[in-house]
Amino acid sequence: MQIRLRNGAAEASARLYDNATARDFASLLPVTITLHDLGGREKAGPLPRTLADGQGQSSYRAGQLGYWAPSSDLAIYYREDGFTIPDHGIVMIGEIDTGLDAITDADGTDTLTITAT
Protein backbone atom coordinates (compact mmCIF):
# COMPACT_ATOMS: atom_id res chain seq x y z
CA MET A 1 0.00 0.00 0.00
CA GLN A 2 1.25 3.49 -0.88
CA ILE A 3 0.91 6.25 1.71
CA ARG A 4 1.58 10.00 1.85
CA LEU A 5 3.13 11.74 4.88
CA ARG A 6 2.53 15.49 5.04
CA ASN A 7 4.29 17.92 7.38
CA GLY A 8 2.92 21.39 6.59
CA ALA A 9 3.65 21.94 2.89
CA ALA A 10 6.37 19.26 2.81
CA GLU A 11 5.43 15.79 1.67
CA ALA A 12 6.90 12.29 1.56
CA SER A 13 5.65 9.16 -0.13
CA ALA A 14 6.12 5.69 1.30
CA ARG A 15 4.99 2.12 0.92
CA LEU A 16 3.82 -0.17 3.68
CA TYR A 17 5.25 -3.65 4.02
CA ASP A 18 3.00 -6.69 3.85
CA ASN A 19 2.76 -7.72 7.50
CA ALA A 20 0.02 -7.76 10.15
CA THR A 21 1.30 -4.67 11.95
CA ALA A 22 1.47 -2.63 8.72
CA ARG A 23 -2.05 -3.73 7.74
CA ASP A 24 -3.33 -2.70 11.19
CA PHE A 25 -1.55 0.66 10.80
CA ALA A 26 -3.26 1.12 7.40
CA SER A 27 -6.64 0.68 9.11
CA LEU A 28 -5.92 3.86 11.13
CA LEU A 29 -5.52 6.05 8.05
CA PRO A 30 -5.94 8.93 7.80
CA VAL A 31 -4.11 9.71 11.04
CA THR A 32 -2.33 12.79 12.41
CA ILE A 33 0.42 12.51 15.02
CA THR A 34 2.66 14.99 16.80
CA LEU A 35 6.34 14.31 16.18
CA HIS A 36 9.28 14.56 18.54
CA ASP A 37 12.94 13.84 17.84
CA LEU A 38 14.72 10.88 19.41
CA GLY A 39 18.50 10.80 19.48
CA GLY A 40 18.99 12.73 16.25
CA ARG A 41 18.13 9.57 14.32
CA GLU A 42 14.33 9.30 14.29
CA LYS A 43 11.10 11.23 14.50
CA ALA A 44 8.41 9.53 16.55
CA GLY A 45 4.88 10.14 17.69
CA PRO A 46 2.12 8.28 19.51
CA LEU A 47 -0.56 6.51 17.52
CA PRO A 48 -4.18 6.68 18.72
CA ARG A 49 -4.23 3.00 19.65
CA THR A 50 -2.08 -0.10 19.99
CA LEU A 51 -1.40 -2.04 16.80
CA ALA A 52 -1.18 -5.77 16.21
CA ASP A 53 2.32 -6.63 17.36
CA GLY A 54 4.73 -8.44 15.12
CA GLN A 55 8.30 -9.67 15.06
CA GLY A 56 10.57 -6.92 16.37
CA GLN A 57 14.13 -6.41 15.26
CA SER A 58 17.12 -4.60 16.71
CA SER A 59 18.32 -2.83 13.57
CA TYR A 60 16.96 -0.23 11.18
CA ARG A 61 18.03 1.85 8.20
CA ALA A 62 17.31 5.44 7.25
CA GLY A 63 13.92 5.79 5.62
CA GLN A 64 12.21 2.93 7.44
CA LEU A 65 8.97 3.30 9.38
CA GLY A 66 8.65 1.23 12.52
CA TYR A 67 6.15 0.51 15.27
CA TRP A 68 7.41 0.62 18.85
CA ALA A 69 4.85 -1.43 20.81
CA PRO A 70 5.83 -0.42 24.38
CA SER A 71 4.55 3.14 23.78
CA SER A 72 2.44 2.61 20.62
CA ASP A 73 4.68 5.03 18.69
CA LEU A 74 5.31 5.32 15.00
CA ALA A 75 9.04 5.87 14.41
CA ILE A 76 10.51 7.23 11.19
CA TYR A 77 14.26 6.75 10.94
CA TYR A 78 16.22 9.43 9.10
CA ARG A 79 19.82 8.76 10.17
CA GLU A 80 21.81 5.62 10.86
CA ASP A 81 24.17 5.88 13.82
CA GLY A 82 24.73 2.28 14.89
CA PHE A 83 22.13 2.45 17.67
CA THR A 84 20.69 -0.97 18.58
CA ILE A 85 16.98 -1.11 19.35
CA PRO A 86 16.40 -2.40 22.91
CA ASP A 87 14.74 -5.72 23.82
CA HIS A 88 11.39 -6.36 22.21
CA GLY A 89 12.69 -4.61 19.10
CA ILE A 90 10.82 -2.48 16.62
CA VAL A 91 8.42 -3.87 14.03
CA MET A 92 9.20 -2.43 10.60
CA ILE A 93 6.02 -1.48 8.75
CA GLY A 94 7.18 0.51 5.74
CA GLU A 95 9.74 2.57 3.91
CA ILE A 96 9.95 6.14 2.57
CA ASP A 97 10.30 6.21 -1.22
CA THR A 98 10.69 9.98 -1.71
CA GLY A 99 10.77 13.09 0.46
CA LEU A 100 12.56 11.87 3.59
CA ASP A 101 13.63 15.50 4.15
CA ALA A 102 9.97 16.36 4.87
CA ILE A 103 10.38 14.24 8.00
CA THR A 104 13.96 15.24 8.79
CA ASP A 105 13.11 18.94 8.68
CA ALA A 106 10.21 18.61 11.14
CA ASP A 107 10.80 20.36 14.45
CA GLY A 108 9.80 19.06 17.85
CA THR A 109 6.18 20.21 17.69
CA ASP A 110 5.23 19.45 14.10
CA THR A 111 2.25 17.35 13.21
CA LEU A 112 2.43 14.71 10.54
CA THR A 113 -0.67 13.66 8.62
CA ILE A 114 -0.55 10.23 7.00
CA THR A 115 -3.04 9.22 4.33
CA ALA A 116 -3.49 6.36 1.87
CA THR A 117 -2.88 7.24 -1.77
Q: Omega into 86 within 30° of 0, i.e. cis?
A: no
What pLDDT does 108 receive? Answer: 59
Q: What is the pLDDT of residues 1-31, one digit of tens each?
A: 999 999 888 899 999 999 999 999 999 999 9
Q: What is the pLDDT of residues 66-96, one digit of tens each?
A: 999 999 999 999 998 888 888 788 999 999 9
pTM beyond 0.85: yes
What pLDDT does 102 receive? Answer: 84
- In whole angstroms, give the CA distance from residue 64 to residue 54: 16
Q: What domains, with CATH codes, occur in the chain?
A: 2-116 (2.40.100.20)
